[in-house]
Amino acid sequence: MTTDATPPVPPHKTFDTILVLDFGSQYTHLITRRLREFNVYSEMLPCTAKLADLDFTPKGIILSGGPYSVYEEGAPHVDHAVFDLGVPILGICYGLQEMAWHFGKNAGVAAGEKREYGHAHLSLQQHGGHVDELFKGLDSDIEVWMSHGDKLSHMPEHFVTVAQTPNSPYAGIAHSDKKMYGIQFHPEVTHTPQGKVLLRNFAVDICQSRTDWTMGKFVDQEIARIRSLVGDKGHVIGAVSGGVDSTVAAKLMKEAIGDRFHAVMVDNGVLRLNEAKQVKETLEKGLGINLTVVDASDLFLDRLAGIKDDPEKKRKVIGNTFIDIFQQKAKEIAAAAHNTPSAGEIEWLLQGTLYPDVIESLSFKGPSQTIKTHHNVGGLPADMNLKLIEPLRELFKDEVRALGVELGINEDLVWRHPFPGPGIAIRILGEVTREQVRIAREADHIFIEEIRAAGLYRNISQAFAALLPVKAVGVMGDKRVHDQVIALRAVETSDFMTADWYPFDGAFLKRVSRRIVNEVNGVCRVVYDITSKPPGTIEME
Ligand code: GLN
């Protein structure tokens, strides 16, 4: 079984921390993200967290939004000790309603007659003293973003109104003595243009948090943490894919424990063109990482043969084969490591888990389901007995990129588009054969090459060529052909939850189409996918 490691000095013990308690809003992680943007460290826990279980005292607490209604039976409620802790509290949307529900003795919140989604104009009311601090420096009339159906029907005792919209007379409230604030709108989304100022007012001025969370400090601290965790004899193994997360995690391990970190790259036969070679070059030569490349492409491709129209089956075959190979390699590396003077059994597995994955595992989903086990590399078998080490588990994707830059990883790699674990197998709709892999790879390579040449790579979040399982008629050199169809897909997104297709100009698409049809044997047509997510997904399978 993989077990999670308890860090010796977690960041919340070193940095002033704002604790965000999550009631299940889609935007909770953005609150944490925004605070870190102005160098205040923040962590998120499920709203059911018990204060007595914390090993630190936060500088302030934010109660997030959520899909429930406080007055419903079974609605989540925060540990009441939160209100007696004596640190400032900010309730956002459901969080505001939760505060009002608590101080209003389970009354004062009801279903509103009018739901309020989208933009609203907020006007502020000044009272003097700490009550005004939340909106300090903001215009008296600001645009905010709303997403609620319930509203406060009356004010709990000791609170005053500090902001209102035409639809919400209590859109902002503050306790007259204590530093407690509630707002009905969402300051964490970009649609509330001055939201960040408000969050800063709360964290820095009201909670008096230091603004000293920086990537440089994170690196030093993380290296020290890894060293004390692993000891001076321990070995760590980890899979690398050439993607930004695994590369950054591997580089951090290299800095911390040198060659006692063993990176394994499995060539599954469905990587991008020249990818295995490139990854080897970058990681081994460029970053000095102790890397073993296993070419298992034949095994993967043999096992994929015959799977025609069940994408899930493809994913499973690839996942299971990966585990077989990785496990085998881990045994060999452990045996070799055992014979060296600094030997020890390999007892640690590196994983590039990011904060959004952790959040997903921790989120409030119902009283009996607070914590799910973390995803690991396709579920490694119990008898591997590895302990997890997750140096990126407190970071968001763009923070991982900043960390990559800090560690001297080159920009091209740091800004690489995400690539799925099952590789281009799920971009080949239909059966994955060596010939189909060739076609999909070559077409993809041309598309990405042109995107880079046009200077568009960073404007696009993810782009690839997919091979459709149909044939079309074409005419090439006066000859009738009956060949395959490539579908290009390129999307823009900030969080990969929703995405829109990229509006290339016609000349660009013409160029890509002409090159693919001319240069890739077996393709006679190119189409561009103009489906957003939802209803589409980013990948096609
Ligand atoms: N469910 C509550 C409402 O509709 C809170 C919504 C929210 O937090 N976004 O008012």
Centroid of ligand 1 to alpha carbon of 89 (angstroms): 18
Q: What is the pLDDT of residue 361?
A: 58
* pTM for the structure as a whole: 0.73
CB 335 within 8 A of CB 346: no
Domain locations in the chain? 11-205, 217-415, 434-528
Q: How far apart are CA 343 and CA 250, in angstroms?
A: 20
* CA distances in angstroms from 17 to 35, 60, 81, 129, 506, listed in the order given: 10, 7, 18, 25, 50
Place of tokens 């001076």: 232
Report the atom number in ligand 1 closest to the C-alpha of 150: 10
Q: Between 3.40.50.720, 3.40.50.980, 3.40.50.880, 3.30.70.20, what CATH number should domain 11-205 receive? A: 3.40.50.880
**Mode of pairing for the β-strands spanning 180-183 and 462-476:** unpaired
Beta strands in 126-192 (DSSP E): 141-152, 159-164, 172-175, 180-183
Please check whether residue 268 is in contact with residue 301, taking contact to mean a CB–CB distance below 8 angstroms: no
Tell me how far the alpha carbon of residue 282 lies from the centroid of ligand 1, in angstroms: 47
CA of 146 to the centre of ligand 1 (A): 9
Best probe residue, ligand 1, of 96, 150, 188 (max atoms within 8 Å of C-beta): 150
Please name the residue whose Cα sits nearest to atom 5 of ligand 1: 94
Residues with beta carbon inside 6 Å of ligand 1? Answer: 25, 65-69, 93-94, 147-150
Question: Which SS3 state, helix, strand or coil, does residue 400 take?
Answer: helix
DSSP state string for 438-500: HHHHHHHHHHHHHHHHTT-TTT-SEEEEEEEEEEEEEEETTEEEEEEEEEEEEEE-SSSSSBE
Provide the CA 172 distance to its chain's centre, in angstroms.
31
Residues assigned a catalytic role = 93, 186, 188
**Ligand 1: nearest atom to the Cα of 92:** 8
In three-state secondary structure terms, 353 is: coil
pLDDT given for residue 5 in this prediction: 45
243 is in an annotated binding site: yes
The mean pLDDT values, 10 residues at a time, for the chain of 541 residues are: 49 92 88 92 92 95 95 94 97 97 91 85 92 92 92 91 93 96 94 94 98 88 90 91 92 95 95 93 93 96 93 90 89 79 70 75 43 39 76 86 92 90 93 97 98 97 96 90 96 81 98 98 97 88 88
241 is in an annotated binding site: yes
Q: Which atom of ligand 1 is nearest to the CA of 65?
A: 8
Buried b (16+ CB within 10 A) or exposed e, 465-477: bbbbeeeeebeee
Q: What SS3 state is found at 195?
A: helix
Q: What is the pLDDT of residue 368?
A: 29
Q: Is 177 helix (H, G, I), strand (E, B) or coil?
A: coil
Domain 217-415 has CATH 3.20.130.10: no
- Ligand 1: atom nearest CA of 23 is 8
Q: Using CA atoms, how far apart are residues 180 and 173, in angstroms rounded to an integer? A: 8
**d(CA 111, ligand 1 centre) in Å:** 10
Convert the pLDDT of each residue in 15-64 to its tens digit: 999 999 999 887 888 898 899 989 999 988 999 999 999 999 999 999 99
Q: Interhelix angle for 215-230 vs 244-257, to 10°?
A: 60
Question: Mutate which of 47, 77, 93, 153 to test ligand 1's pocket (most atoms within 8 Å of Cβ)?
Answer: 93
pLDDT of residue 383: 65
Which residue's entry shows tokens 């919209």? Answer: 165
Class of domain 434-528 (CATH, top level): alpha beta
Query: Is there a binding annotation on residue 244?
Result: yes
State how far the Cα of 173 lies from the Cα of 157, in Å rounded to an integer.
Answer: 11
Helix axes 397-406, 215-230, angle to 10 degrees: 90
19 alpha carbon – ligand 1 mean position (Å): 20
Please indicate whether the domains covering 11-205 and 217-415 agree at the CATH topology level.
yes
Are the C-beta atoms of 42 and 20 separated by less than 8 Å? yes
| The pLDDT value given to residue 327 | 86
Q: Record the tokens describing residue 524, joined without a space.
A: 């006679």
**Ligand 1, residues 148, 184, 189: which to mutate, most atoms within 8 A of Cβ?**
148
Q: Map tokens 């590369």 to a residue.
A: 247
Helices (DSSP H) in 65-126: which residue ranges?
A: 94-103
